[in-house]
């Protein structure tokens, strides 16, 4: 199993771009693992991209940083065969 740090670096080097939903899965877990619970204002209704990112991060609320790192690695391992 790769470490969280390795998974984040390897995910940046995917040869193909993950779908938006898959990207948001990575994003929410990454933010939870590195920052913790969401700590920013919710973007406005018309700011669709940032609102989606906010919601992906907020959906991980309460997850410990270590649990988020483990979950990120599992998500990486799930998608790596498809995109690496």
Which pair of tokens denotes residue 57? 């991060």
pLDDT at 1: 85
- Report the CATH number that the domain containing residue 42 is assigned in CATH: 1.20.80.10
pTM of the entire structure? 0.95
Q: If we measure between CA atoms, which residue out of 68, 70, 66, 67 comes closest to residue 56?
A: 68
pLDDT cut 70: percent of the chain above it: 100
Query: What is the number of domains present in the chain?
Result: 1
Structural domain harbouring 64: 4-83
Q: Are 56 and 65 in contact (CB under 8 A)?
A: no
pLDDT in tens, 68-84: 999 999 999 999 999 98
Count the Cβ atoms, other than its own, within 10 Å of residue 57. 22
Structure tokens at 68: 């988020």
């Amino acid at each position: 199993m790769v470490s969280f740090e390795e998974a984040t670096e390897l995910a940046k080097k995917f040869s193909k771009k993950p779908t938006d939903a898959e990207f948001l899965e990575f994003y929410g877990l990454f933010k939870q693992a590195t920052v913790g619970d969401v700590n920013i204002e919710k973007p406005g209704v018309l700011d669709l991209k940032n609102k989606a990112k906010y919601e992906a991060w907020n959906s991980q609320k309460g997850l410990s940083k270590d649990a988020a790192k483990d979950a990120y690695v599992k998500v990486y391992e799930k998608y790596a065969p498809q995109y690496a």
